[in-house]
A and B are shown apart, each in its own frame.
Chain A
Amino acid sequence: MDQENQNLSQKELYDLKHQEKERQTKANHRKSSTKRILIWLVALLTLGGAIFGMVKLAGNAPSNSTGPVDAVSATDWARGNKDSKAILIEYSDFQCPACGFYFPIVKKLTEDYQDKLVFVSRNFPLQQHANARPAAYAAEAAGKQGKYWEMHDLVFNNQSQWSGAPNAKEIFTDYAKSLNLNLEQFTNEAGSNAIKDRVDNDYQSGIRAGVNSTPTFFLNGKQIKPTNYDEFRNLIEQAIKANP
């Protein structure tokens, strides 16, 4: 009887030990798979957070640069009704003859559609035009004194006068004088890095929009290639009708 009891308890003991061992290996297994899940969870969360954060951060444009081609940014030079639904943006080079050709057409458009259109001029000075950048700097510097469009028009109206001139800068200073600008301020600002950065920003925004020649026109974000006033007018009429 006694022995039987002992035998039984020994067997029980063995079973118990066995069970304990099994439970332990199971627990170990669970522990390692929990650890694995944790490791990859951390990896996934880190990467997800990283991508989300960076895309969000990248979505914020710096305030001092020009925006995309379908909207007027706060720093743009805009003519017409800023709240209008038709936005015409021109990437232009003051020295490019084609820009000079389009200038009176665009000017007439901005006058005829004063209430229904906003026109934005952005700088896209091409490298082969030595005086394009000084012209852009002059217009921007005049803008600092509130006379961007006056200088813009003056420079375009007299394009042939300064295009090939070696003393273009002096000619622009004369224009500034005729616009009654503060000449010292004008000269300082035309040569400043701030103005240069503005022009560069315009240029880079053009590159991003796929501009490779001047003038390039965008009407509500879409590139258009009208060749005369009537074609321009039709496109603008369509844009106004499409966005009442």
Chain B
Amino acid sequence: MGDSNDDPERARRFREAALPHLDDVYTLARYLLRDPADAEDAVQECYLRALKHFGGYRGPAMKPWLFAILRNVCRAEFARRATAPSSAIDDSPEAAEQPPLWHEEQQTPEAQMLRDRDAVTIRRLVDGLAEPFRETFVLREINELSYREIAEAVGAPVGTVMSRLARARAMLRSAWMAEQEQAR
């Protein structure tokens, strides 16, 4: 790991491999940290670390690898925030309870799902998910990773990814439904 970073050839390869994923990495950072400025810092730190360790990178895919690094950066950020609720990783069912997120006239929950495609609204809904379900959901639905890639990125077995994703979708659905009840 003591290899130098001033090798221009390596910098070029890193640039070609890693920079195309910048939007993806930034997107994940936004959802993990829920703060634009913190997300920028984390992404920058992530890329610096990635370059530093690029010599040891053996694949398989660049995106999950970058995400894994980003998660470590974010974890440090969570530790720094210390008091922030998002630093707590909460697998408990209570975490599923969501406050109603918007108030509009609605008919049925399913019709609502079809109608509310407003990015801002859905983003807020996703942001309302508890960790680690938010992360899993974002990796799957927004970053479009396969289950195996998610497992790589988060360092958990595929079975865990599957159950988290199932929980995430169930939570999101009930948040949607709860909203519907409110509007009634």
User: A and B: real partners?
Assistant: no
Residues of B within 8 A of A (CB): none
